[in-house]
């Protein structure tokens, strides 16, 4: 048993469009996940959250293509393996994925038990009819779903029930890692709660060893996962324990994101909401410097000319910003950085890394290269 | 218009009643299969008010919105605009009504006609406003102004089809339509459920500006209780076609009276208090296994 159940090193994947253009949707993501840990991924639409989830399975089909990096599940590097081997030995047993709106994937003319049979057949497990029913019923009881579900057609189930059924089917073979991509975003609060309860229950009972949870609802993420990563334009810009990430974010984008949380509790009506003006960069040609620079209100001149590496704070949180940790900790989103430091710019405490010349294809690359 | 990075709702005095629903019901189906989707609801919307209608899926929120918009008939009861029952016979009357009442929807991808270009979408709005005979140059001016209100550049959009835009741009375009039309009532059906928190604030900001400028009434139909509490003056909680609770947002959210509201609130994740996952489930057996005759769709 390896120390980390999932280790992702500098994963890069891209989409290739009809016009042979590359869209760099996941661009250098690294993280490690221990057994029993849950990681939440937040970020705006189009930042690459769902692409990351799909990339993690190691099973690529066009237009998604693998570029570089490695995905190590329990000591086994799954990148570059034969897709057919991968499909039978990794997907479903090692890593399982619940796509967005998974409940719409159910064919309305087949009973739920047939889907369970499908999963088993795809993994070369042949059971007789009675064995299958016994196994399915036992599983349903384990995940607190009524046994009657097995003999129902998908149209006979409510949205929340369908989603929970899909989760039960996905986790049938007790995968080590479960990736849940917006499992509850189409549901109302009551059904959402049941879905979340079920997911947490799966981990408690050890049916799933760890979970990656993707959503744009931050209050939900805060309650579900221990660790939160904030994604922006294909990269993690911040990752750390949930409480710190929500209440003391470091990266300016994360500060904006956390400032726009609204929950129904007293006093929130008098507060200002933070909106981050502007739009994210086009991922066909993402800037080589800080990707958030164009929208960042704390931007320094250097932000436009150097590569921002992943940096780690004193307590091990990841952030991708040139400003010193101490400054970022003090900074509130409503502050103006210039008013604090009137004459001098804030000193940036990283070694300046100019753009690598081989991948410089824009004007900005030439400027700094010279 | 420069985008702001701080959004706040201005509270204001509300007096003039503008749209009133009296004992409105909608029944789908007949006889044994009859399903009362909306059951005897009464409401009053005032000018400049922000109202939220909160409820679970299948509680009748969207049906009510459709009735207000005139997209479906009202089975019983009536809707009064400025004290007069709504006249809704001829196409001319409908057009007149839609000048006052407009809607934006959750999914921008399925809202536009894929065959009409963006110019056409905006030109239609100008026509609906009764300015069909305006010279084209002036129409362009209006469209440019509307686009710049939502931080889009009209020059970039012209001659494009809606599907060539990103989701965020489409949603902004929808607000640009509202900016041209300047309706008195805007029904926003889950306008922010597909976007992240920052974009949600931007969309809210635009809608709130429109309200302040035009004294527009906005009806949010949502299951995002946090959003409802933050923006609205009045909240209606809907369950199986009826309003179980209504009142100012502080009354309803902070001091709920009905048990249903209390349980609904306990299901909302908060960041300040631990989320109680152990409480009783709100859903009944019937909700989970809807039958063909009724229940959730």
Whichever domain contains B28, its CATH number is 3.40.50.300
| Sequence-distant contacts of B255-259: CB under 8 A, at least 24 apart | none
Tally helices (H) and strands (E) across chain A.
Answer: 12, 13
Do A108 and A184 fall within a single domain? yes
Residue B104, domain member (yes or no): yes
Do A182 and A316 fall within a single domain? no
Position A41 pLDDT exceeds 90: yes
Rounded to an integer, what distance in angstroms lies between the CA atom of residue A63 and that of residue A237? Answer: 25
Do A158 and A284 fall within a single domain? no
Do A42 and A93 fall within a single domain? yes
Q: Is A263 in contact with B253 (Cβ distance < 8 A)?
A: no
Rounded to an integer, what distance in angstroms lies between the CA atom of residue A124 and that of residue B60? Answer: 46
Residue A326, domain member (yes or no): yes
Boundary-marking domain end, from A191, A225, A259 = A225
Number of domains in chain B: 1
Q: With an 8 Å Cβ cutoff, is A274 touching chain B?
A: yes
Do A193 and A342 fall within a single domain? no
Position A105 pLDDT exceeds 70: yes
> Which chain B residue shows the shortest CA-CA distance from A254?
B198
Residue of B238, B237, B225, B191 lying closest to B59 (CA atoms)? B238
Tell me what the mean pLDDT of segment A173-202 comes to: 87
Tell me what the mean pLDDT of segment B11-38 comes to: 85
Q: Of the given ranges (B89-93, B168-172, B279-283), which has the lowest mean pLDDT?
A: B279-283
Q: Decide if B190 contacts B202 (C-beta within 8 A).
A: no
Residue B2, domain member (yes or no): no
Q: Give strand pairing partners of B102.
A: B186
Range of the structural domain that residue B42 is part of? 17-288
The dihedral built from the CA positions of residue A140, A145, A151 and A155, taken in this order, carries a sign that is negative
Residue A243, domain member (yes or no): no
Number of domains in chain A: 2
Of B196, B202, B229, the CB nearest to A216: B196
Do A30 and A133 fall within a single domain? yes
Name which of A158, A204, A215, A256 to mutate to probe chain B: the one with the most chain B Cβ atoms within 10 A of its Cβ.
A158
Q: Decide if B287 contacts B295 (C-beta within 8 A).
A: yes
Q: Is B242 strand, coil or helix?
A: strand
Q: With an 8 Å Cβ cutoff, is A332 touching chain B?
A: no
Per-residue model confidence (pLDDT) at position A361:
41
Q: Of the given ranges (A44-58, A334-348, B50-64), which has the lowest mean pLDDT?
A: A334-348
Q: Decide if B65 contacts B236 (C-beta within 8 A).
A: no
Do A28 and A143 fall within a single domain? yes
Rounded to an integer, what distance in angstroms lies between the CA atom of residue B32 and that of residue A168? Answer: 36
Q: Is A128 strand, coil or helix?
A: coil
Q: Which residues of A touch B268 (CB under 8 A)?
A: 189, 219, 263-264
Q: With an 8 Å Cβ cutoff, is A159 touching chain B?
A: yes
Predicted confidence band of residue A368 (pLDDT cuts 50, 70, 90): very low
**How far off is chain A from B151, nearest CA to CA, in Å?**
9
Do A130 and A208 fall within a single domain? yes
**Cβ atoms within 10 A of the Cβ of A62, count?**
7
Rounded to an integer, what distance in angstroms lies between the CA atom of residue A157 and that of residue A154? Answer: 6
Do A130 and A167 fall within a single domain? yes
> Which chain A residue shows the shortest CA-CA distance from B230?
A269
Residue A157, domain member (yes or no): yes
**How far off is chain A from B283, nearest CA to CA, in Å?**
7
Q: Which residues of B touch A334 (CB under 8 A)?
A: 6
Residue A123, domain member (yes or no): yes
**Could you give the angle at the alpha carbon of A246 between the alpha carbons of A244 and A252, nearest 5°?**
95
Do A90 and A190 fall within a single domain? yes
Tell me what the mean pLDDT of segment B49-67 comes to: 88
Of B4, B268, B272, the CB nearest to A275: B4
* Chain-centroid distance, C-alpha A66: 17
Q: Which residues of B touch A294 (CB under 8 A)?
A: none
Tell me what the mean pLDDT of segment A38-45 comes to: 88
Q: Is A152 in contact with B289 (Cβ distance < 8 A)?
A: yes
Range of the structural domain that residue A118 is part of? 6-225
> Which chain A residue shows the shortest CA-CA distance from B293?
A156
Do A272 and A324 fall within a single domain? yes
Query: Where does residue A23 fall: left (phi above 0), alpha (psi -120 to 50 degrees), or beta otherwise?
Result: beta
Run of H or E residues at B287: helix B285-288
Boundary-marking domain end, from A155, A190, A225 = A225
**How far off is chain B from A46, nearest CA to CA, in Å?**
9
Q: With an 8 Å Cβ cutoff, is A147 touching chain B?
A: no
Rounded to an integer, what distance in angstroms lies between the CA atom of residue B113 and that of residue A279? Answer: 25
Residue A232, domain member (yes or no): no
Residue B293, domain member (yes or no): no
Q: Is B237 strand, coil or helix?
A: strand
As for the ipTM of the complex, it is: 0.79
**How far off is chain B from A284, nearest CA to CA, in Å?**
14
Tell me what the mean pLDDT of segment B79-98 comes to: 84
Do A167 and A271 fall within a single domain? no
Q: Decide if A182 contacts A152 (C-beta within 8 A).
A: no
| B203: preceding bond cis by omega (within 30 degrees) | no
Q: Of the given ranges (A356-360, B136-140, B194-198), which has the lowest mean pLDDT?
A: A356-360
Position A177 pLDDT exceeds 90: yes
Strands B17-28, A311-312: pairing kind: unpaired
List the alpha helices (DSSP H) in A29-177. 49-56, 83-89, 112-122, 129-142, 159-170
- SS3 letters across B108-163: HHHCCCCCCCHHHHHHHHHHHCCCCCCCHHHHHHHHHHHHHHCCCCHHHHCCCCHH
Q: What is the CATH number of the domain that holds A201?
A: 3.40.50.300
Rounded to an integer, what distance in angstroms lies between the CA atom of residue A165 and that of residue A184? Answer: 13
Position A213 pLDDT exceeds 90: yes
Tell me what the mean pLDDT of segment A291-320 comes to: 86
Run of H or E residues at A24: strand A22-33
Position B296 pLDDT exceeds 50: no
Q: Is A262 in contact with B282 (Cβ distance < 8 A)?
A: no
Residue A130, domain member (yes or no): yes
């Amino acid at each position: 048993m390896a120390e980390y159940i999932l280790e992702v090193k500098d994963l890069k994947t891209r989409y290739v469009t009809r016009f042979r253009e590359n869209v760099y949707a996941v661009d250098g993501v690294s993280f490690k996940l221990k057994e029993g840990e849950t990681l939440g991924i937040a970020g705006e639409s189009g930042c690459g959250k769902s692409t990351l989830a799909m990339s993690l399975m190691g099973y690529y089909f066009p237009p998604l293509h693998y570029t570089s990096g490695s995905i190590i599940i329990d000591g086994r590097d799954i990148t570059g393996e034969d897709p057919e081997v991968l499909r039978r030995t990794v997907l479903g047993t090692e890593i399982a994925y619940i796509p967005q709106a998974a409940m719409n994937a159910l064919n309305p003319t087949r009973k739920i038990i047939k889907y369970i049979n499908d999963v088993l057949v795809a993994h070369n497990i042949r059971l007789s009819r009675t064995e299958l029913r016994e196994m399915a019923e036992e599983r349903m009881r384990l995940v607190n779903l009524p046994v009657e579900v097995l003999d129902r057609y998908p149209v006979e189930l409510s949205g929340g029930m369908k989603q929970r059924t899909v989760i039960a089917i996905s986790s049938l073979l007790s995968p080590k890692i479960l990736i849940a991509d917006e499992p509850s975003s189409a549901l109302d609060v009551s059904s959402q709660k049941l879905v979340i309860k079920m997911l947490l229950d799966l981990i408690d009972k050890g049916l799933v060893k760890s979970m990656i949870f993707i959503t744009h609802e931050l209050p939900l993420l805060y309650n579900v996962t221990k660790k939160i990563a904030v994604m922006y334009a294909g990269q993690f810009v911040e990752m750390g324990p949930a409480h710190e990430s929500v209440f003391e974010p470091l990266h300016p984008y994360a500060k904006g994101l956390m400032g726009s949380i609204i929950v129904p509790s007293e006093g929130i009506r008098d507060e200002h909401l933070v909106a981050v003006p502007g739009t994210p960069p086009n991922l066909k040609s993402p800037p080589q410097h800080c990707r958030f620079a164009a929208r960042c209100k704390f931007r320094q001149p250097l932000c436009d000319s150097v590569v921002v590496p992943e940096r780690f704070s004193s307590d091990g949180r990841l952030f991708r910003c040139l400003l010193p940790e101490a400054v970022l900790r003090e900074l509130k989103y409503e502050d103006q950085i210039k008013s604090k430091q009137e004459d001098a710019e804030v000193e940036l405490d990283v070694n300046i890394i100019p753009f690598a010349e081989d991948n410089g294809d824009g004007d900005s690359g030439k400027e700094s290269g010279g | 218009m420069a985008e702001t990075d701080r959004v706040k709702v201005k509270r204001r005095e509300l007096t003039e009643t503008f749209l009133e629903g009296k004992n409105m019901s909608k029944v789908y189906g007949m006889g044994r299969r009859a399903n009362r989707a909306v059951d005897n609801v009464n409401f009053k919307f005032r000018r400049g008010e922000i109202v939220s209608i909160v409820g679970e899926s299948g509680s009748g929120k969207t049906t009510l919105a459709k009735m207000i918009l005139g997209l479906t008939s009202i089975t019983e009861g009536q809707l009064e605009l400025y004290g007069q029952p709504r006249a809704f016979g001829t196409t001319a009357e409908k057009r007149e009504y839609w000048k006052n009442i407009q809607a934006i929807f959750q999914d921008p991808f399925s809202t536009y006609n894929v065959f009409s270009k963006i110019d056409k979408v905006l030109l239609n709005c100008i026509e609906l406003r009764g300015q069909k005979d305006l010279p084209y140059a002036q129409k362009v001016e209006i469209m440019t102004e509307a686009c710049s209100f939502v931080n889009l550049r009209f020059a970039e959009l012209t001659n494009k089809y809606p599907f060539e835009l990103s989701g965020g741009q489409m949603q902004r375009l929808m607000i640009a339509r509202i900016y041209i039309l300047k309706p008195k009532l805007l029904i926003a059906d889950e306008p922010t459920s597909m976007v992240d928190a920052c974009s949600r604030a931007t969309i809210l900001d635009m809608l709130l500006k429109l309200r302040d400028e035009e004294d527009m009434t906005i009806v949010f139909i949502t299951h995002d209780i946090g959003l409802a509490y933050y923006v609205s003056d009045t909240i209606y909680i809907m369950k199986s076609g009826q309003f179980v609770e209504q009142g100012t947002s502080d009354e309803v959210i902070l001091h709920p009276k009905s048990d249903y509201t209390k349980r609904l609130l306990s299901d909302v994740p908060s960041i300040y208090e631990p989320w109680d996952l152990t409480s009783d489930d709100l859903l009944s057996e019937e909700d989970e296994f809807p039958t063909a005759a009724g229940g959730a769709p």
